[in-house]
Amino acid sequence: MQTIFSTDGVLPKNRFRHWKDICEDRIVPLNQSCLDNEPFNASIKGANIGGLDFTWFALSNLRVSTTPRTLRSENHKTDQLFLNIVLNGTVCSHQNDRSSTDEAGDFAIRDTNTSWANEHNGYSEVLAISIPRKRLEGVLGSARIFAGLTVDSHQPVATLTRSFLCNLMREGGRLPPSAAERMAGVGIDLVIASLAERLAKEVPRPISGVLVIQRAKAYVEANLNNVSLDPPLLAAAVGVSLRRLQQLFHDHGQHISDWIWQRRLLAASRHLKNPGCRHISIGILAYECGFASQPHFSRRFKAHFGMTPSEYRHASRMRDL
């Protein structure tokens, strides 16, 4: 990663002003204030890997927030969401009526369209990754569903996600552009899976139809490899009757079974295109995506994509040459 800013060598009286200018350009317009009277010290490193901006921050005793005024700024990045991973220290966060104290390894999404606040009490290091809004909302629904929700560091998929993204941050500069783009896509898929796993654990409670749909879709994303996943199981998982869930999907112009198979087929297509999965047999890949048999998988895949899984994998390989 390239060093973008450091207070080393900057006069103490100018440090905070320079820091705020860099943050506004790199992230979004922010309100910032120091929590003590000590000389301000901080540094920023950054890299663009596969179209994603990675920004590493090291800082101490700072409060940052967005407000209705900063959200109206012409520099505001409304098409991006920010994944914040705490690497060291603790960060107190608040967004969408959710408050948390995030520790090393925890991460959360910050929605650039609604106000949020972070407090860094003592020294902390944070990795912020900008992710196209449509990539997350296209699967999980409105960011309001998951923004500000802490994904615990001990959550199994979250552990894999954090490790992958941190390694990508360190090694991404050595990858050719096509490989970097593929790995960035894998990283986003892991973020989606982590958020889905977290959402699926929410305690069922009376919620609107839209939220029922989003929780159902999150549960599907987290359990695609379960060959037993079907509409009745999904309805039970989100705490509504099967008839209610079927009606909600119908109101959105969808059928539950069609959605489940669509997500399984898209997951399979990503694996077939991924060079890192070429050693995995199509039978095993099919099972990992929730298909009970390879022939069933092949029939559905060809009906959806117009070619067999083997043909699809071969065509992807030829495009990479």
Summarize pLDDT for 53-93 with one digit per residue, the tens: 999 999 999 998 887 777 766 565 678 899 999 999 999 99
The answer to whether 96 and 111 are in contact (CB under 8 A) is: yes
SS3 307: coil
| Beta carbons within 10 angstroms of residue 72's beta carbon | 9
- List of E strands, the chain: 2-6, 31-34, 42-49, 52-65, 80-88, 90-95, 98-103, 107-111, 116-132
**Final residue belonging to a domain, choices 167, 200, 233:** 200
Residues 108, 241 within the same domain: no
Residue 286: which CATH number? 1.10.10.60
Residues 29, 113 within the same domain: yes
pLDDT at residue number 184: 92
What is the C-alpha separation between 19 and 305, in angstroms, rounded?
49
Residues 152, 107 within the same domain: yes
What is the C-alpha separation between 27 and 76, in angstroms, rounded?
9
* Percent of the chain residues past pLDDT 70, beyond the cut: 95
**Final residue belonging to a domain, choices 163, 180, 200:** 200
Residues 173, 216 within the same domain: no
Torsion sign across C-alpha atoms 243, 244, 250, 255: negative
Which ranges of the chain have pLDDT less than 50?
Answer: 205-206
| Domain total in the chain | 2
Residues 11, 114 within the same domain: yes
Residues 234, 140 within the same domain: no
pLDDT at residue number 320: 66
Residues 194, 145 within the same domain: yes
The answer to whether 104 and 127 are in contact (CB under 8 A) is: no
Residues 122, 247 within the same domain: no
Residues 14, 146 within the same domain: yes
pLDDT in tens, 279-300: 889 999 899 889 988 999 999 9
Which residues span the domain enclosing 226? Answer: 209-320
pLDDT at residue number 224: 87
Residues 9, 154 within the same domain: yes
DSSP 216-237: HHHHHHHTTT-TT--HHHHHHH
pLDDT at residue number 58: 93
**Final residue belonging to a domain, choices 177, 200, 223:** 200
Residues 111, 27 within the same domain: yes
pLDDT at residue number 303: 92
Give the pair of three-digit tokens for residue 241.
């009757």
The closest of 218, 86, 80, 84 to 145, measured between CA atoms, is 218
Residues 178, 249 within the same domain: no
pLDDT at residue number 206: 47
Residue 60: which CATH number? 2.60.120.10
Burial 25-48 (b: 16+ CB within 10 A, else e): ebbbbbeeeeeeeeebbbbbbbbe
pLDDT at residue number 74: 58
